[in-house]
Structure 1
Amino acid sequence: MDYKLIDFPIHGNHEGKLVALEKNNEFPFEIKRVYYIWDTVHDAIRGKHAHKDLQQVIICVKGECDFILDDGKTRETVHLNNPAQGLYITNNIWREFTNFSKDCVVMVLASEHYNPKDYIHDYHEFLKEASCNR
């Protein structure tokens, strides 16, 4: 499955920490869109889609949650709870996220602007697409 965890360099000292994301350093693409999600019910299931072309880096900047990733062959769960680590997901991976802590804030950095035509919302359609891309 085409994803990885990226550890970002932490700058700072005992007074506080800072992570800077810069194109071509620790970051795999030019950022064209940023959004964040918070105040989510613990057992809600968000996402439930795949992207045809979009790449994303997801950072749990506060709290914790689980990402369930599926490439049509395998399903894996990735636990996010470190604001200095990002989950890099390429295209054609079904994603869901759940198990939100009460204080969870998730920030998503995307390689493209919002395009509704890039989304696959139906899991069975995703499985068909995934089998064609093998």
Structure 2
Amino acid sequence: MNRIRRIKLPKIEDRRGNLSVLENDILPFTFKRVYYLYDVPSGASRGGHAHKEQSEFLIALSGSFDVLINTGFETQIYTLNRPDEGLLIPNGYWRELDNFSSGGICLVLASDVFKEPDYIRNLDDFLASKML
């Protein structure tokens, strides 16, 4: 399925603290790269691109942030603020990450290693590709 969706992660509750597990069988892809965004200044935006092939899974490990998704035809905003739930973003969607709370941390699991040719970094180019 090539659609944006929230995926709930297993949560093991314990009086000593909670634990969530993320294994490859939870996602529709095997992740090949993991990175995280943190110390994002107030008012700053991250992302601002689409992928031709790569899919990503985003989790708010701490705090919160908004993920603006543009399909080329409509825009939707997803707020991530739970470490036991993530947002699956398949390829072909423009994404921007905004409104990071103080201490907000975004963990990203990507379906591939970094490849610059996979990125569409200009919104007009992205929108034009959707009109083809």
Output the TM-score relative to the length of structure 2: 0.95
Q: How many angstroms apart in 1 are the aligned matches of 2:75 and 2:21? A: 31
Q: How many angstroms apart in 2 are the aligned matches of 1:72 and 1:95? A: 11
Q: 1:122: Cα distance to partner? A: 0.7
> What are the superposed Cα offsets for residues 14-67 of structure 1, whole Å, 9 maximum, x if unpaired?
11111111122x222101000001000121111110000000000010000000
Q: Partner of 2:10 in structure 1? A: 9
Q: How many angstroms apart in 2 are the aligned matches of 1:27 and 1:53? A: 16
- 1:105-124 correspondence to structure 2 within 5 Å: 105-124=105-124
- 1:1-134 correspondence to structure 2 within 5 Å: 2-24=3-25, 26-132=26-132
Percent identity at matched positions?
36
Q: How many angstroms apart in 2 are the aligned matches of 1:41 and 1:58? A: 19
Structure 1 residue ranges without an equivalent (≥5): none
Q: How many angstroms apart in 1 are the aligned matches of 2:127 and 2:85? A: 29
Q: How many angstroms apart in 2 are the aligned matches of 1:15 and 1:29? A: 32
The number of equivalent residue pairs is 131
Output the TM-score relative to the length of structure 1: 0.94
Q: How many angstroms apart in 2 are the aligned matches of 1:125 and 1:69? A: 16
Q: How many angstroms apart in 1 are the aligned matches of 2:63 and 2:128? A: 35
